[in-house]
């Protein structure tokens, strides 16, 4: 009954932790492609190939359902994977839709026409590849009208977090928020469109101001996953063991993950 959670690096651990708390009975297999991180500066074909390779590895571990807890992969590869690569007995889901449903106050599966929503000015903070894909704006347009989205590509933030340099990460976040505010001085809401960014959520909130609603993905994705598994119990895979896999150096990745999660985590070679 294992479920796979994939990220290019360590950011997806924020989703994993929320999912473990929401679904304690489900064993999760986490795959971090740390050798090839970050994905945000890669082209779409490269992201597609790396993501497919990782997902295949999690299928081998008995995960019939895999969550792409990587906004870059969700933006640049997911639709192509679903349309041309994922077999009928498997599922690969992304992290954009639960976030947009929360922003637009929709229930899962509400496919009614797009409508006016309360939030009109939205700041999107994401990797360069996610911003370039415009996947967030495309998904939002299916559900809402009249929403102005200003996107800010946050170069360097993922690298700093992966290296454990949170001082640099904070400085970069504040710089990117300043750049966003020059384009959209008064956003009503902000989307943290990378699963690394919840690790810096308090910095984003402080830089944006207390009156800006900050939407982070981890808990929203966990709740959406619980709902999905309730409606599709057959997608609980055959895997029975919690595992942490990495394409990088297992010792180094384990140390970083332990630092982020404040609990011991041991990765093995994928």
Supply the residues annotated as catalytic: 70, 194
Beta strands in 71-143 (DSSP E): 91-93, 115-116, 121-126
Q: For residue 204, give both structure tokens.
A: 């984003």
């Amino acid at each position: 009954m294992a479920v796979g959670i994939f990220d290019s690096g360590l950011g997806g651990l924020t989703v994993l932790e929320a999912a473990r708390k929401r679904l304690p009975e489900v064993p999760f297999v986490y795959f971090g492609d740390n050798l090839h991180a970050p994905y945000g500066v890669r082209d779409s074909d490269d992201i597609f190939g790396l993501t497919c390779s990782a997902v295949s590895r999690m299928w081998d571990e008995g995960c019939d359902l895999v969550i792409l807890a990587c906004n870059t992969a969700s933006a640049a590869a997911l639709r192509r994977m679903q349309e041309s690569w994922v077999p009928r007995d498997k599922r690969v889901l992304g992290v954009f839709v639960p976030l947009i449903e929360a922003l637009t106050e929709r229930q899962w599966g509400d496919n009614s026409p797009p409508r006016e929503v309360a939030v009109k000015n939205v700041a999107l903070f994401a990797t360069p590849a996610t911003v370039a894909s415009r996947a967030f704006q495309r998904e939002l347009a299916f559900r809402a009208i009249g929403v102005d989205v200003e996107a800010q590509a946050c170069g360097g933030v993922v690298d700093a977090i992966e290296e454990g340099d949170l001082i640099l990460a904070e400085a970069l976040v504040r710089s990117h928020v300043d750049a966003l505010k020059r384009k959209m001085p008064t956003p009503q809401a902000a989307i943290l469109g990378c699963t690394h960014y919840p690790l810096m959520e308090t910095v984003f909130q402080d830089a944006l101001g207390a009156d800006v609603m900050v939407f982070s993905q981890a808990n929203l994705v966990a709740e959406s996953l619980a709902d999905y598994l309730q409606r599709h119990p057959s997608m609980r895979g055959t895997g029975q063991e919690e595992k942490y896999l990495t394409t990088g150096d297992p010792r180094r990745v384990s140390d970083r993950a332990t630092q982020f999660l404040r609990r011991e985590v041991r990765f093995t070679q994928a």
